């Protein structure tokens, strides 16, 4: 099964994370690893999430479209060919 890394930037972490979590739950079967990083000092609003996914192109497109539909959350896909 094809795999990819989806890098997600979240601009308003405290506002966007509940809706983002709903997207991840809907697509949970294809997400193999999830790593979330945010600014701890001062509890900053920017966040970075890295997803390792294994799925067909159609499901990957659906996942990234759902993420991008959140507005201030953006996804970038890096396909892995090894």
pLDDT score at 41 = 67
Contact 3, 53 (CB under 8 A): yes
Residue, of 65 and 11, whose pLDDT is higher: 65
With bands split at pLDDT 50, 70 and 90, how would you rate the model's confidence at 76? very high
pLDDT score at 81 = 80
**How does pLDDT run across 16-74, given as a tens digit for each residue?**
889 999 999 999 999 999 999 876 666 677 889 999 999 999 999 999 999 999 988 99
Cα separations in angstroms, 76 against 40, 41, 42, 43, 50? 24, 26, 27, 24, 10
Question: Would the pTM count as exceeding 0.85?
Answer: yes
Q: Which domains does the chain have, with CATH numbers?
A: 3-80 (3.30.70.1150)
């Amino acid at each position: 099964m094809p795999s990819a890394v989806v890098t997600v930037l979240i601009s308003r972490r405290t506002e966007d994370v509940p809706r983002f979590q709903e997207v991840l739950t809907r697509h949970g079967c294809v997400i193999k690893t999830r790593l979330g990083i945010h600014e701890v000092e001062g509890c900053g609003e920017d966040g970075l999430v890295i997803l390792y996914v294994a799925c067909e192109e159609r499901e990957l497109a659906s996942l990234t479209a759902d993420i991008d539909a959140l507005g201030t959350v953006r996804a970038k896909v890096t396909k892995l060919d090894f």
